Amino acid sequence: MSDDIRRSSYSLGMVIKTGWLEFLKNFNTIIPITLLVYIPVNIVLSFVPVDHLIENYGIKGFEIYLRIVQLLKFFFGVLVTMSVAKIIELSISGQEITWKRAFGFSLSRWSASVGTGILCGLIVFGLLLLLIIPGIIWGLYYTFFIYVVALRGLSGKKALNYSKVIVKGQWWKVFSYLLVVGICGFLASRLAGLPFGRIPNNVLMGIISGTIMDIASVPFTVMAIIFFLNNDYIKQQQTEVAEAVQGAESAEPASETP
């Protein structure tokens, strides 16, 4: 798999298949990290008075609740994403890592990922204020920044630029692939939570159902990671080839006129 993912551009079907197989292969490493992060997050969310917010503020109250969810998922869910990214890249190279080391690695990159995410949000928000379309375009350019921060040791504008280089020239492909994976992840998460809809609502069930829904979305995070790695490896190879060609051309002796 290591050679294959580095040499050939994956189809959407291959991204989904490889991501699912890698999730199953690394299940025992991924799940402890997912539980370690999302159980506390869902405990905190259980104390948010969503019913009170909706009763007093209507749709606006529900929007407030969703913003709280988004913030918690971003600030702490990124630890799961970076841990899984590290696990998967090592896995496709035939290496292993314990969940504790993977989680420790993600902690070491946490501040860089949060800082880069805030910078990304400010740039995209600024573009959205100017015109909606540029904001959407640049938002997708920066879509891989978390994986870049985690796996390529970059942060800030350098990480955002790195992501842009990968996306540039294949914007619609990246958009369509990630849209399909994202929709599938959303549906899987909702389906995982359906059985709990028939159970009387209480704090414990809310924590359990929320955590199971989070686990159900992780395979699709793995698929997005596979998509990033495939494109990153190919871009690196293309750059190496281009640099080698340029080097060979500059090393050629100047042609002599007879």
Domain boundaries, the chain: 2-232
Confirm if 146 and 82 have CB atoms less than 8 A apart: yes
Confirm if 201 and 210 have CB atoms less than 8 A apart: no
Q: Which two three-digit tokens encode residue 65?
A: 């609740």
Q: Residue 94 region, left (φ>0) first, then alpha (ψ -120 to 50), else beta? A: left
Task: Give the span between the Cα atoms of 83 and 102, in whole angstroms.
Answer: 5
Confirm if 113 and 78 have CB atoms less than 8 A apart: yes
HEC profile for 80-102? HHHHHHHHHHHHHCCCCCCHHHH
Task: Give the span between the Cα atoms of 255 and 247, in whole angstroms.
Answer: 17
Q: What is the pLDDT of residues 18-73, one digit of tens each?
A: 999 999 999 999 999 999 999 999 898 888 877 777 777 778 777 787 788 888 88
Helix (H) or strand (E) run with residue 114 in it: helix 110-130
Confirm if 166 and 235 have CB atoms less than 8 A apart: yes
- Whole-number pLDDT of residue 1: 59
- Whole-number pLDDT of residue 64: 80
- Whole-number pLDDT of residue 7: 84
Q: Which two three-digit tokens encode residue 192?
A: 């995982």
Give the Å distances, CA to CA, from 192 to 100, 180, 184, 212, 238: 27, 18, 12, 7, 41
Q: Which two three-digit tokens encode residue 11?
A: 């189809």
Q: Which two three-digit tokens encode residue 123?
A: 């740039």
- Whole-number pLDDT of residue 15: 96
Which stretches of the chain drop beneath a pLDDT of 50? 253-258
Q: Classify burial at 10, counting beta carbons within 10 Å of its beta carbon; exposed 0-12, middle 13-18, buried 19 or more.
A: buried
Q: Give the number of C-alpha atoms closer than 13 A to the C-alpha of residue 243, restricted to the C-beta side.
A: 6
- Whole-number pLDDT of residue 251: 53
- Whole-number pLDDT of residue 255: 40
**pTM assigned to the model:** 0.88
Task: Give the span between the Cα atoms of 175 and 15, in whole angstroms.
Answer: 14
Confirm if 185 and 217 have CB atoms less than 8 A apart: yes
Residue 135 three-state SS: helix
Structure letter (DSSP) for residue 197: G
Give the Å distances, CA to CA, from 10 to 18, 52, 174, 253: 9, 47, 12, 40
- Whole-number pLDDT of residue 146: 96
The residue behind tokens 């998967």 is 88
